[in-house]
């Protein structure tokens, strides 16, 4: 069979309209009382260290001062007698981050040699049985006009989000971002903009692992359940000022009282922590929180823009497809779910393009998501079975149609309106190939460091595509086969190919794929697909193949 060249587009999208998103509820949630750590006064600022699962938190005492404590995790709960930290002094002390080296980031005031109080954000670490002298973080033009302050760092420790009232605040406390310059210095804080910040309070930010999903507490966004609620928003670009409209986490998280902090723990028993007063005038306590993770993920996905990944696909032979991922484009348009038999996308145009989508194997209509791009706009629409999409196009327009449907490989078609096309209707059928059991997929950009099982960063796009196929099609398993050329020791090549297959398996498992759904095999150089006579053809044999299997 000759090589057939196709250009496909992988589309990540949200299938929930804005109206439905705002009314979503996070089901199967429950607040878990943490009696071993809560007191009769305010308990706040929880942070769980990722390795030991030690809980750092703060308590307010009878005198009204706040001190930092730690509680050890015993596998079921945190210890009943939390340890008072020696870093505490007569000022308020709150820990907001612990990095991978055990260094803690806290805010307080310390006294200098002249006995003056210096306020700010500090670090210290436990060495030789004691805490090191606090080191103040130097944040350019840092100026908090409020007595309230909170902050968080991302996992890598190079991004800090700070809640404070400072330059360019929209009201009282706003959330700002600052980036690490070196060990103890940071860039000038930048306001996150009015999608996040309001004339009221935004505080206790928590940045998720993707460095894009932001949880925070606020009393300034409409639609809350109490005086302060937990909200979530998704960062849309690299400026840190464009965010999706914040969504309330709902009545299963927020109460009529004040919810002032939200954190992940990494624990299956208690996956989240929330600080809540539960009443408008009560003392705050720390609660464990069980959310249905799939519901939370769905809520976050609903805020993301449509994402198109251009992908080149070659049909190499019977049952073998080669995929070469490329550039990613984000579109701000979200999908409009429409179950009518005919969908009209309105433009002041001269030509009409009528699109239908079908299963190539049986010519039957299939439901699908269609995203199109013309010279002047991009848009998306959902097609129910037996429906068509009408796109109104300009004279001499070029339209790229991208189609995705569950259980099918994505497909694209490019339509060019020529000089002779004016005031006409064009009908185009777009055929999708099903995800067939036994089909083998080869990826151009699943690459390793030479002679090692260590993946190169450019492999992520292709492997994320595999993870998406498996996540969308739970009835499929996959076999990962590693291959090398025949140069060098045959036994070592076999071991290397096996290690590479297992490296990819770990990557997919880290993306949430059940390891039981993934088989791995190493073939070394025993199954070449090209000659080993030259480097140009030998490199074709250094490959990884994925075969789709039926879930047992």
State residue 401's pLDDT score.
Answer: 83
Contact 95, 204 (CB under 8 A): no
pLDDT tens for 411-450 read 777 887 766 666 788 888 988 877 777 877 776 667 777 7
- Its pTM stands at 0.56
Sheet of 398-404: strand order equals: 378-383, 368-373, 398-404, 411-416
Query: What average pLDDT score do residues 504-523 get?
Result: 92
SS3 353: strand
State residue 234's pLDDT score.
Answer: 92
State residue 503's pLDDT score.
Answer: 93
State residue 528's pLDDT score.
Answer: 87
State residue 312's pLDDT score.
Answer: 46
State residue 317's pLDDT score.
Answer: 52
Query: What average pLDDT score do residues 169-177 get?
Result: 92
Sheet of 320-331: strand order equals: 4-12, 306-317, 320-331, 440-443, 544-550, 476-482, 518-522
State residue 291's pLDDT score.
Answer: 82
Query: What average pLDDT score do residues 337-341 get?
Result: 36
Identify the CA nearest to 247 among candidates 259, 233, 258, 261: 233
Residue 526 has pLDDT above 70, yes or no: yes
SS3 377: coil
Structure tokens given for 169:
């605040």
Stretch among 1-10, 82-91, 235-244 having the lowest mean pLDDT: 1-10
How far is 433 from 321, CA to CA, in rounded Å? 11
Average model confidence (pLDDT) across the chain = 79
Residue 501 has pLDDT above 60, yes or no: yes
Identify the CA nearest to 499 among candidates 480, 513, 526: 480
Residue 250 has pLDDT above 60, yes or no: yes
Residues 6+ apart with CB under 8 A from 509: 515, 518
Stretch among 25-34, 146-155, 348-357 having the lowest mean pLDDT: 25-34
Which neighbouring-strand residues pair with 73? 78
Residue 161 has pLDDT above 60, yes or no: yes
Identify the CA nearest to 339 among candidates 386, 380, 376: 386
Contact 513, 470 (CB under 8 A): yes
Identify the CA nearest to 150 among candidates 191, 92, 94, 190: 94
Say how many Å lie between the first and final Cα of the chain, rounded: 32
Residue 316 has pLDDT above 70, yes or no: no
Burial grade of 473 (CB within 10 A; 0-12, 13-18, 19 or more): middle
State residue 313's pLDDT score.
Answer: 46
Share of the chain above pLDDT 70, in %: 82
State residue 109's pLDDT score.
Answer: 75
């Amino acid at each position: 069979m000759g090589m057939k060249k196709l250009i496909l587009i992988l589309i990540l999208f949200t299938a929930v309209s804005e109206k439905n998103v705002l009314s979503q509820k996070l089901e199967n949630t429950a607040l878990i009382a943490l009696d071993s750590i809560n007191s009769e006064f305010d308990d706040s600022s929880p942070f769980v260290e990722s390795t030991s699962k030690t809980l750092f938190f703060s308590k307010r005492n009878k005198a009204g001062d706040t001190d930092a404590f730690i509680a050890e995790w015993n596998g079921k709960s945190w210890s009943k007698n939390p340890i008072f930290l020696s870093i505490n002094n007569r000022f308020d002390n709150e820990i907001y981050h612990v990095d991978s080296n055990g260094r803690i980031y806290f805010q307080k005031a310390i006294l200098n040699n002249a006995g003056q109080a210096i306020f700010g954000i500090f670090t210290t670490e436990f060495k030789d049985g004691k805490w090191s002298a606090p080191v103040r973080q130097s944040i350019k033009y840092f100026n908090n006009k409020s007595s309230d302050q909170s902050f968080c760092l991302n996992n890598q420790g190079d991004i800090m989000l700070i809640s404070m009232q400072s330059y360019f605040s929209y009201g009282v406390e706003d959330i700002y971002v600052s980036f690490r310059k070196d060990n103890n210095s940071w860039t000038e804080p930048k306001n996150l903009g009015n999608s996040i910040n309001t004339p009221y309070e935004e505080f206790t930010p928590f940045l998720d692992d993707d460095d894009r999903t932001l949880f925070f507490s606020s009393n300034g966004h409409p639609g809350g359940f109490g005086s302060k609620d937990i909200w979530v928003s998704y960062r849309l670009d690299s400026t840190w000022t464009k965010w999706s409209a914040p969504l309330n986490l709902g009545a299963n998280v927020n109460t009529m009282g004040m919810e002032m902090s939200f954190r992940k723990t990494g624990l299956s028993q208690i996956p989240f922590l929330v600080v809540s007063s539960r009443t408008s005038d009560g003392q705050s306590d720390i609660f464990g929180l069980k959310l249905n993770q799939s519901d939370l993920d769905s809520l976050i996905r609903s805020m993301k823009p449509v994402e198109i990944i251009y992908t080149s696909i070659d049909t190499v032979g019977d049952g073998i497809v080669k995929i070469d991922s490329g550039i990613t484009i984000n579109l701000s348009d979200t999908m409009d779910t429409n179950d009518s038999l005919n969908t009209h996308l309105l433009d002041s145009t001269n030509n009409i393009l009528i699109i239908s989508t079908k299963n190539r194997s049986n010519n039957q209509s299939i439901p699908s998501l269609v995203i199109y791009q013309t010279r002047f706009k991009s848009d998306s629409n959902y097609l129910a079975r037996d429906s068509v999409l009408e796109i109104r196009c300009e004279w001499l327009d070029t339209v790229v149609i991208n189609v995705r449907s569950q259980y099918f490989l994505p497909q694209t078609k490019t339509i060019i309106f020529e000089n002779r096309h004016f005031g006409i209707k064009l009908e185009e059928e777009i055929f999708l190939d099903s995800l067939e059991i036994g089909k083998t997929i080869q990826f151009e950009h699943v690459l390793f460091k030479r002679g090692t099982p260590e993946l190169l960063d450019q492999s992520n796009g292709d492997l994320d595509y595999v993870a998406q196929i498996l996540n969308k099609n739970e009835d499929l398993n996959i076999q990962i086969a590693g291959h090398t050329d025949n140069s060098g020791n045959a036994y070592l090549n076999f071991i290397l190919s096996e290690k590479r297959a297992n490296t990819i398996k770990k990557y997919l498992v880290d993306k949430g794929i059940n390891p039981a759904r993934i088989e791995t095999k190493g073939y070394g150089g025993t199954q070449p697909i090209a000659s080993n006579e030259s480097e140009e053809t030998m490199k074709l044999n250094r490959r990884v193949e994925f075969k789709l299997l039926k879930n047992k």
